[in-house]
């Protein structure tokens, strides 16, 4: 069950609320209804979207790079936004294997871009202090990855790079057992393709 977070409706823009930050007492403006619509549209446009996101969350949990109260990490929301960003900007990828490999390639690439969304209000600030910037899909001023540190981001990049290499090797293997070994290296010993 998710956290219940209080919100306060605002007059303009319509359907937006201000919501307190879970840490630090700051507040930000977002639209819960528009976030839900965005998520629904991603699932409608790509029937594999949910499976792709679930697999990537599994990987994140297996590699222990999930955020905690004490340490930043790769949140579920950031994973969802990156998968959506890739579908929007690079074309919808319904092949789950190819979409997962694309995600790892993107994450481990040398120049991770600022991620923003054209239908969101506002612009990405000219200055921000976080290691990466992934905007809320309803308000580009909200960096949902603002707690990311350099050391945690390097750890995430290393894990993504290792996953990218392993899954490329898996694609080159000629038998199912060798392929499965590479996938288990990425997703853990309990992973199964059946």
pLDDT tens string 122-151:
999 999 998 999 999 999 999 999 999 999
Q: For the domain that residue 53 is a member of, what is the CATH number? A: 1.10.1410.10
Phi, psi values for residue 12, rounded to 5°: -140, 135
> The domain containing residue 50 runs over which residues?
32-187
Q: What is the pLDDT of residue 52?
A: 97
- Cβ within 8 Å of residue 47, ≥6 positions away: 94
Looking at the domain assignment, is residue 4 inside a domain? no
Phi, psi values for residue 101, rounded to 5°: -65, -40
Cis peptide before 161 (omega within 30 of 0): no
Looking at the domain assignment, is residue 63 inside a domain? yes
Structure tokens at 13: 């823009």
Looking at the domain assignment, is residue 12 inside a domain? no
Residue 18 has pLDDT above 90, yes or no: no
Distance CA 54, CA 116 (A): 22
Looking at the domain assignment, is residue 123 inside a domain? yes
CB atoms within 10 A of CB 14: 9
Looking at the domain assignment, is residue 78 inside a domain? yes
Distance CA 190, CA 7 (A): 40
Looking at the domain assignment, is residue 137 inside a domain? yes
Q: What is the pLDDT of residue 96?
A: 96
pLDDT bin (cut points 50, 70, 90) of residue 9 is low
Distance CA 96, CA 57 (A): 14
Number of domains in the chain: 1
Residue 67 has pLDDT above 50, yes or no: yes
Looking at the domain assignment, is residue 9 inside a domain? no
Phi, psi values for residue 18, rounded to 5°: -100, 145
pLDDT bin (cut points 50, 70, 90) of residue 1 is very low
With pLDDT > 70 as the criterion, what percentage of the chain qualifies? 90
The torsion region of residue 64 among left (phi > 0), alpha (psi -120 to 50) and beta comes to left
CA dihedral 52, 116, 88, 168 (to 10 degrees): -50
């Amino acid at each position: 069950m998710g956290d219940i977070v209080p919100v306060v409706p605002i007059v303009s823009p319509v359907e937006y609320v201000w919501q307190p930050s879970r840490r630090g007492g700051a507040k930000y403006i977002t639209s819960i209804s528009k976030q839900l619509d965005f998520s629904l549209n991603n699932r409608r446009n790509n029937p594999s979207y949910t499976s792709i996101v679930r697999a990537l969350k599994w990987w994140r949990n297996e590699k222990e790079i999930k955020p905690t109260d004490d340490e930043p990490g790769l949140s579920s929301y950031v994973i969802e936004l990156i998968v959506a960003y890739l579908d929007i900007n690079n074309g919808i990828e319904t092949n789950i294997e190819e979409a997962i490999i694309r995600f790892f390639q993107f994450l481990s690439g040398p120049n991770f871009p600022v991620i923003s969304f054209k239908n969101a209000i506002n612009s990405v600030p000219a200055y921000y202090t976080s290691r990466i910037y992934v905007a809320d899909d309803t308000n580009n001023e909200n960096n949902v990855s603002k707690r990311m540190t350099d050391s945690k981001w390097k750890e995430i990049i290393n894990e993504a790079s290792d996953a990218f290499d392993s899954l490329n090797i898996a694609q080159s293997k000629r038998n199912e057992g060798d392929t499965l070994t590479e996938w288990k290296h990425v997703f853990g010993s309990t992973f199964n393709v059946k």
